[in-house]
Structure 1
Amino acid sequence: MRYVAIEKAKDNMVLAMPIYDSINRVLLATGTIMTRDYIRKLKARGLPGFYVEDELAKDIEVQDIVTQELRNEGVEALQRGDLDACMKVAERIVEQILSRPPIRLDMIDLRMFDDYTYRHSVNVAVMSTVIALNLGFNKKKLKEVSISAMLHDIGKLMLNPEILNKPGPLTESEYEHIRQHPQIAFDFLRQRMDISSTIRAGILSHHENEDGSGYPNGFVGDDIYIYAKIIHVADVFDALTSKRPYKVPYARSEAVEYLMGGCGRFFDRDVVEAFIQSVAIYPSGTEVMLSDGREGIVAANKWNPLRPLIRLWDGEEIDLNDSCNYRDLTIVPETDAILV
C-alpha cells in the first residue's frame, strides 16, 4: 500500500485502510473505491490523506505497531474522561509494542481536525513508549511512561473550551490560561492513590525546557523528570506534524530537524536520539522526490532513517544505503519539492 495526500487524491483509488470519524465510526471501509464526493468531504473535515492499494505498492507493508482498535479505545476513554479505562489502554499499548519488535513508527497518522485532541494523546503515549523502550526502560517503567503520556493533557479538559479551541492567535491572558493545564492535572490526580508520583511528575513537567524557559515551574536539566523529557519530545513532534485548521503540518524531516536543533535548549539530547531511532522519517509508502528530480515512493526503511529504499514510478528501485552508486543522491525536503 502507499499513502496519498488528500491534495493528490483521485477518483477510483482503492482504500487500503478504513477511515474513522471523531467518535470512531467507520466512515469508509477498506476496499472502498474513492469518488470525487468522498474526497471533497474528507478534505473538508481535515483528513491529511489515506492509504491506497495499487500495482506499484502492492507488496509494500505498512503496519501500525498498535492496532487501530486499541487507539480507538484510547480515544473513547479520553472522550469520556474515564481515567481507569485510559490507564488500561496505556498498559495494553505497552503489551502490544513489546510483542512486535523491532519497533519503528512507520505509518502516517490518519486524523481529522475534529478528533485531534484525543488522538494526539494516544499518539504521544505510543511514541513515548517506543522512546522509553529505546532508552532501555523495563516493563514497569514503560507502563508508567505510557500512562503519564496518555494523561499528559488531561488538564486541558478542565480549561475553557472556547480558549482551548480558538482557531486564531491567543492573547497573553489566554495563553496563561492554557499554561495552567499541567498543574491542574497534577493537582487533580493527587487524589488517585493508584497513580504514582513519577507518573504525575511526567504530566506536571512535560512543557519544561532544558534551559529553564518552560512551564509551569521553570525547571532546568536534571530537575526535569525523565518521563516528562520523553513526553515533551513526543508531544512536540506530534503537534508539529499534525494538520490543524490554522496551520500546515511540518514534514517529518523538518520536525526531526527542529528537535535536533533544540537539543540542550528545549530537549534532552539522549531522548531526541532515542526518538530518531524510533520513528521513520520517511515512512513506507510515502511519496518522495530525489535530488536528481526523479520521484517515487518509499519501499522500505532500513538502518539509516535518512536513506530508505526508494521505488520509482517506473518500478526501478534505488537503495540510498548503497554509497557506491548513490552517494550523492538525497531526498529533497518536502517544502523544497513543492517549489520545484
Structure 2
Amino acid sequence: MRYIPIEKTEQDMILARSVYDNTGRVLLSCGTVLTDEYIDKLYDRGLPGIYIEDKLAEDIEIEEAISEELRNEGAEALRNGDVDAAMGVGRRIVDEIIQNPRVTLDLIDLRSYDDYTYRHSVNVAVISTVIGINMQLNRLALDELSIAAILHDIGKRRIDPKIINKKGKLTPEEYTEVKRHSEYGYEMVKSRIDLSAKIKNAILLHHENEDGSGYPKGLKGNQIFIYAKIIHVADVFDALTAKRPYKKAYAQSEAAEYLMGSCDRMFDREVVKAFLQCVSLYPKGTQVQLSNGKEALVVEATKSPLRPKVRIIEDGTDMDLSSLYEYRNITIVPPHDGDIS
C-alpha cells in the first residue's frame, strides 16, 4: 500500500485502509473504489490523505502501532470526558504495543479537522509509550506514562471551543487562556486517588522546556519529571505532522529535524534520541523526491534513517540508498513548505 495526499487522490483508486468518521463509524471501507463524489467528501472532512492499493506498492506492508478500534475508543472516551475509560485505553495501548516492541511509527494518522483534539491525545499516548519502551521503562511506568499522555490535554475541555478551533492567529489573551490548559487539566484530576502523583505531575508540566522558558512553572532540566519530558516530545511531533485548517503538515523528517534542533532548549536530548530510534523519518509508502529528479516510494527503513530503501515510480526499480557504494550521490530532497506526500 502507499499514502496519497488528498489533493493527489484520483477516481478509481482503491482504498487500502478504511476511513472512519469522528465517532469511529466506517465512512469508506477498505477495498472501496473511489469516485469523484467520495473524494469530494473526504476533502471536505479535512482528511490529509488516504492509503491506496496498487501494483507499484502491493508488497509494502505497514504495521499499525495500535488497532484502529482502540484509537477510536480512546478518541470517544476523550470526547465524552470519560477519564475512567481513557485510563483503560491508556493501559491497553501499552498492552498492544508491547506485543510488538520493535514497532516503528510509520502509519500516518488519517484524522479530520474536527477530530484533531481527541485523536491527537491518543497519538501522543502511542508515541510516548514507544519512547518509554526505548528508554527501558518498566510496565508500571509505561502504564502511568500512557495514561498521563492520553489525558495531557484534558484541561482544554474548560476552554471555549471557539478558541481551541480558531483558524486564525490567537490574540494574546486567547493564547494566555490556551496556555492554562495544563493547569486546568491538573485541577480536573488532582483529587483522584486512582491517579498517581507522577501522572498528575506530567499533565501539569508537559509544556515545560529544558531551559526554563516553558509553562506553567518555568522549570528547568532535572526539575521536570521524565514523563512530562517524553510527552512534550510526543506532543510537539504529533502537532507538527498534523494537517490543520491554518497550516500544512510537516513531513516526519522535518518534524524530527525540529526536535533535534531544539534539544537542550525545549527538549531533553536523551528523550529525543530515544524518539529517533522508533520513528521513521521517511514512513513506508510515502512519496519522496530524489536529488536525481526521480520520484520514488519509500519501501522500508534501513540502518541509516536518512537513507531508506525506495522504489522509482517511473519504472518500479528498487534502490537501497544506504548502499553508499552504489547510490552515495543520490539523496532525498527535503520537502517544501511543510508538504508531505
Tell me what 1:323 maps to: 324
Are residue 235 (structure 1) and residue 203 (structure 2) matched? no
TM-score by length of 1: 0.97
1:168-247 matches, cutoff 5 A: 168-247=168-247
* Letter in structure 2 aligned against 1:320: L
Q: Unaligned stretches of 5+ in structure 2?
A: none
Tell me what 1:248 maps to: 248
The alpha carbon displacement at 1:221 in A equals 0.7
The alpha carbon displacement at 1:336 in A equals 7.9
Alpha-carbon separation, structure 2, partners of 1:165 and 1:62 = 31
Note the alpha carbon deviations across 1:268-325, whole angstroms, 9 max, x for none. Answer: 0011111111111111111111111111101111222211110112111000111111
The alpha carbon displacement at 1:48 in A equals 0.6
Alpha-carbon separation, structure 2, partners of 1:326 and 1:208 = 42
The alpha carbon displacement at 1:337 in A equals 11
Kept in 2: contact 1:289–1:337 (CA 8 A)? no
> Aligned pair in 2 of structure 1 residues 37, 289: CA closer, same or farther (>3 Å)?
same
Alpha-carbon separation, structure 2, partners of 1:253 and 1:161 = 31
Kept in 2: contact 1:103–1:278 (CA 8 A)? yes
Kept in 1: contact 2:24–2:69 (CA 8 A)? no
- Quote the RMSD (CA, aligned, Å): 1.2
Kept in 1: contact 2:47–2:113 (CA 8 A)? yes
> Aligned pair in 2 of structure 1 residues 173, 152: CA closer, same or farther (>3 Å)?
same
The alpha carbon displacement at 1:23 in A equals 1.1
* Letter in structure 2 aligned against 1:228: A
Note the alpha carbon deviations across 1:240-287, whole angstroms, 9 max, x for none. Answer: 110111111111111111101100100000111111111111111111
1:306-321 matches, cutoff 5 A: 306-313=306-313, 314-321=315-322
Note the alpha carbon deviations across 1:150-186, whole angstroms, 9 max, x for none. Answer: 0000000111222222211111111111111111111
> Aligned pair in 2 of structure 1 residues 310, 249: CA closer, same or farther (>3 Å)?
same
The alpha carbon displacement at 1:25 in A equals 1.0
The alpha carbon displacement at 1:328 in A equals 2.1
Kept in 1: contact 2:101–2:133 (CA 8 A)? no
1:38-117 matches, cutoff 5 A: 38-117=38-117
Q: Secondary structure at the match of 1:311?
A: strand
Alpha-carbon separation, structure 1, partners of 2:188 and 2:338 = 47
> Aligned pair in 2 of structure 1 residues 336, 178: CA closer, same or farther (>3 Å)?
closer
Are residue 333 (structure 1) and residue 310 (structure 2) matched? no
* Letter in structure 2 aligned against 1:232: H
Identical-residue share of aligned pairs (%)? 56
**Aligned residues between the structures:** 338
TM-score by length of 2: 0.97
Runs (4 or more) in structure 1 with deviation over 2 Å come to none
The alpha carbon displacement at 1:89 in A equals 0.5
Alpha-carbon separation, structure 2, partners of 1:99 and 1:45 = 33
Alpha-carbon separation, structure 2, partners of 1:184 and 1:336 = 34
Kept in 1: contact 2:208–2:219 (CA 8 A)? yes
Q: Unaligned stretches of 5+ in structure 1?
A: none
Kept in 2: contact 1:11–1:35 (CA 8 A)? yes
> Aligned pair in 2 of structure 1 residues 335, 136: CA closer, same or farther (>3 Å)?
same
Q: Secondary structure at the match of 1:40?
A: helix
Alpha-carbon separation, structure 2, partners of 1:328 and 1:215 = 45
Alpha-carbon separation, structure 2, partners of 1:143 and 1:66 = 15
Note the alpha carbon deviations across 1:63-114, whole angstroms, 9 max, x for none. Answer: 1110001101101111111111101100000010000131211111111101
> Aligned pair in 2 of structure 1 residues 337, 109: CA closer, same or farther (>3 Å)?
closer
Q: Secondary structure at the match of 1:105?
A: coil
The alpha carbon displacement at 1:140 in A equals 0.8
> Aligned pair in 2 of structure 1 residues 87, 336: CA closer, same or farther (>3 Å)?
closer
